[in-house]
Structure formats: C-alpha cells, structure tokens
C-alpha cells in the first residue's frame, strides 16, 4: 500500500504569524511596503513547499538549517547579487 503525503503549507496559525511578521516588517521599513502582503505570504509559503519537497525526495542529504536559512535570505534579500 502506497502512502501519499500532501503538503498544504503553513496552516492557519502559520499564515497568521507570517502575515503579522510581514506587516510589522513593512511598518518598520524592513520589508518593502509597495508589495502586497498576500503576494509576500504566498512567495514565502511557496519556498517552504519547495523545501519540503526537497526533503521528501532525499531526506538523507537534506540540510534543514541551510535550507531554512536560504529560504529566509531569498525572501528578505532576493535573488540578486549583493554589492
């Protein structure tokens, strides 16, 4: 019997927490306020889903700390080079 795993993202509490972090960051000027919080929330959740898929593909080689750090860094700094 095959086991199926669904990845649905953060759930209600996680989304509410992420939304609060985004809104606080925008109010403090740490996160761009010209971008809709819904889009930022969706982009961050997407990076979480991609990371979870990487774990399920190859759990033995999955580096949780590095992956989380990279996801947060990509979210906060983007994919552009830092000068």
pLDDT digits (tens, 9 = 90+) for 16-61: 888 898 999 999 998 899 999 999 988 888 888 888 888 989 999 9
Average pLDDT of the segment spanning 76-83: 76
Which of left, alpha, beta for 11 (phi over 0: left; psi -120 to 50: alpha)?
left
- pTM for this one? 0.70
What is the pLDDT, as a whole number, of residue 49? 86
Give yes or no for a contact between 75 and 55, defined as CB atoms under 8 angstroms apart.
Answer: no
Tokens 């019997």 correspond to 1
* Predicted local distance difference test score (pLDDT) of residue 81: 75
CB < 8 Å & 24+ apart, contacts of 64-71: 71/44, 71/47
Contact 32, 26 (CB under 8 A): yes
For residue range 43-55, list pLDDT tens digits in order. Answer: 888 888 888 888 9
**pLDDT for residue 77:** 83
Token pair listed for 20: 């609060």
């Amino acid at each position: 019997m095959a086991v199926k795993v669904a990845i649905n993202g953060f759930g209600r509490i996680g989304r509410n927490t992420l939304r609060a972090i985004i809104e606080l960051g925008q109010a403090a000027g740490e996160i761009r306020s010209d971008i809709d919080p819904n889009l930022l929330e969706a982009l961050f959740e997407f990076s979480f889903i991609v990371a979870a898929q990487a774990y399920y593909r190859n759990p033995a080689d999955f580096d949780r700390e590095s992956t989380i750090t990279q996801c947060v860094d990509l979210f906060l700094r983007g994919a552009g080079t830092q000068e």
